[in-house]
Amino acid sequence: MPTRILPAGADPDAVRSLVTLLSQLPDAEPQPPVTDSTQLVDALARLAAEAVDELPEVLVVHERIGPAPALELIREIALRFPAVGVILVTTDASPGLFAAAMDSGARGLVALPLSYDELAGRVQAVAQWSTEVRRHLGQGGEAPGGSGGTVVTVSGAKGGVGATLTAVQLALAAQASGRSTALVDLDLQCGDVASFLDIQFRRSVADLAAISDISPRVLADALFRHDTGLALLLAPGEGERGEEVTDRAARQIVRALRSRYEVVVIDCGAQLGGAGAAAIEAADTALLVTTPDVIAVRAAKRTVRMWDRLQIRKAEETTVVVNRQSRHTEIQPALVQRITGTALARTAVPANFKELQAVVDAGRVHELDARSTVKQALWALAGELGLARAAEGAHRGGRGVAGATGRVPGAFGGGRSEPVTRRGKRDADPGRTSAGGGASDAGRMSDSGPRSDAGRVSGAGPVSGAGRMGGAGPVSDEWWARGAGLASGAGRMGDVGLTRDECRPSDAGRMSGAGQVSDAGPTGDSGQVSIEFLGMTPLILLTLVLVWQAVLVGYTFTLAGNAADEAVRAGTAASPGGARQAACSTAGRKDLSAAWRGDATVSCGGSGYVTADVSLKVPVLFPGLIAFPARVHGHAGAVEEAKD
């Protein structure tokens, strides 16, 4: 999120130098400078009259400002505009002036000549303080569970379960909702985040490993800014360099990112190393992705036990996400939760690799169609975890939840769920479920989720009743109706992201009114098979016709050969001349059925060696109705029998 900085000073050269340095700071948004104290106070008053959020986060005051002295000006600003953090720029950095500046209400002091690192560090600290003050005063967004941003780690129970895809989509959802987001690839030997987003990079997390004090400038140099707005900290291209990233370095990197970004998503892969263990231990939410098969669930159980033995994270503090879920699988999410002993994400990701194959092969996962059920489920998971917030406009006003891949519904973050975090469980309204959640079994979400009384929805849009999904307002997007919140079918609002056939019937989540559940929308496997079969029917019929016609051709050849044998046998016994021809013709036609007999021609000839030739027409599909103009021939010969 950009930090608005207002410079103020009467010395043009000093102000120009200050603005030049401020413009080089990462995510900084310098405002036009103010030249005197009266103009400064008036400008702040005008902004405050519109809204507190319109005030700049940081005010940098040069000591040579008039007509009011700098310390008196700072005291007045601190009293009238407490949400603005003030930094004093001075040539005298003595302890006495420092104490006087702090007493006046300044949040920091920077000595002249200006140093980039000192100025960047002080601006970052003051901007973070200002943001926290505004949140505390109720003027900003949702208050986080603690200081800094939210850190979420995504690990795989084993390789290939979809941990990287989950991490990327969670980060994209958070960024699209207007929250500043960083995505870190801590799968140090086999990281694929760069491949999923089709980027070439020079810097990696290994470049930060040897740095004892990560300044904002150093961190900005190591980050890759993606087209979607994500800040990426990638795994090294050479896997052996992953050993350079120690647990101490990982903790320092996580702290630095947490202080600068509202959301930090870390892909830890399936292999546990020192860096990954440190990240999981420091995370607010640790996700473990698995698939509903025996091998993956066993691996998830082993991973949870290992984390517990190593005192990285307790089982009840880990949230399992079931990927590639289908109603046809023997293992359902509730069983996974029972086996692993962990919390279970209410959002299950459906099995639909066809939607993913093209974008994964092209390395353009961020361009996944917004209608994709997989994307809808993963973005709903982001809402459930509180990573994405409602589209109410940024603190600058008017900035909605729009990302590179499409529109996100406003119900994302209003009904924030209760993910298991290290910062304590958030209070839950028992009558509410999270965005993307739903009520099942008389309002019971799952063993780890809140309970609601009904979970009834009315109409096709807003969700109402005791079991209201989300708190951000009506569900007004087809995106939400299809996959993120309403599970169609018999009416159960169960695991989000499942299709109609993947939800069992339940009386608790019954739809009413115009929103009555029908067969409209995504259907199950049976409907897909029926559609595919209908499309294949013409091809199947054509194949059967061709096979039948080939059988008729072969059968006609057989008849012609047999008739020729019979004709030549009769011809050898008859006298030469007309008697032989008559005997041949009669014998050749004798065993032919009516469909072939009418158009058959039989001819015999030869002396001493008798030959017979039978010609038959090939019928088209149905013998006796129509025949091809071409004929097939059967030929036979035999030595004339000697006469006594």
Q: List Cβ neighbours of 264 (8 Å cut-off, separation of 6 or more).
A: 149, 150, 151, 152, 181, 182, 184, 254, 257, 258
Q: Are 480 and 413 in contact (CB under 8 A)?
A: no
Number of H helices, E strands in the chain: 18, 22
Average pLDDT, integer, range 105-114: 89
Angle between helices 116-136 and 247-260 (to 10 degrees): 60
Please check whether residues 340 and 355 belong to one and the same domain: no
| pLDDT, tens only, 126-168 | 988 888 888 777 644 444 444 578 999 999 999 999 999 999 9
* Residue 644 placed within a domain: no
- pLDDT at residue number 429: 41
Q: What is the CATH number of the domain that holds 56?
A: 3.40.50.2300
Q: What pLDDT sits at residue 214?
A: 82
Highest mean pLDDT among 286-290, 478-482, 490-494: 286-290
Tell me: do 99 and 187 sit in the same domain.
no
Alpha-carbon separation of residue 54 from 124, 203, 397, 603 (angstroms): 19, 36, 9, 107
Quick one: average pLDDT of 253-274? Answer: 92
Look at residue 144 and tell me if it is in a domain. no
Kindly give, in sequence order, each residue whose CB lies less than 8 Å from that of residue 40, ignoring residues fewer than 6 positions away.
6, 8, 34, 59, 61, 65, 73, 77
Range of the domain at 190: 150-344
Confidence of residue 422 (pLDDT cuts 50, 70, 90): low
Domain end: 478, 500, 523, which one? 523
67: cis peptide before it, omega within 30°? yes
The answer as to whether 374 is a domain residue is yes
Q: What is the mean pLDDT of the chain?
A: 77
Count of domains forming the chain: 4
Residue 261 maps to a domain: yes
Q: Widest CA span of the chain, in angstroms?
A: 151
Q: Is residue 142 part of a domain?
A: no
Same domain for 569 and 590, yes or no, is: yes
Q: Are 510 and 438 a contacting pair, CB within 8 Å?
A: no
Per residue, the 3-state secondary structure of 366-378, as one string, reads HHCCCCCHHHHHH
Q: Where are the beta strands (DSSP E) in 130-256?
A: 150-156, 181-185, 224-225, 231-233
Residue 111 and residue 89: Cα distance in Å, rounded?
6
Residue 143 lies in a domain: no
Residue 468: pLDDT band (50, 70, 90) is very low
Once rounded to an integer, what is the mean pLDDT over residues 250-270? 92
Using DSSP's 3-state secondary structure scheme, residue 171 falls into helix
**283/402 same-domain check:** no
Tokens of 185: 């690839």
Residues of the chain with pLDDT > 70: what percent?
75
Does the structure show a pLDDT above 90 at 425?
Answer: no
The answer to whether residues 249 and 195 belong to one domain is yes
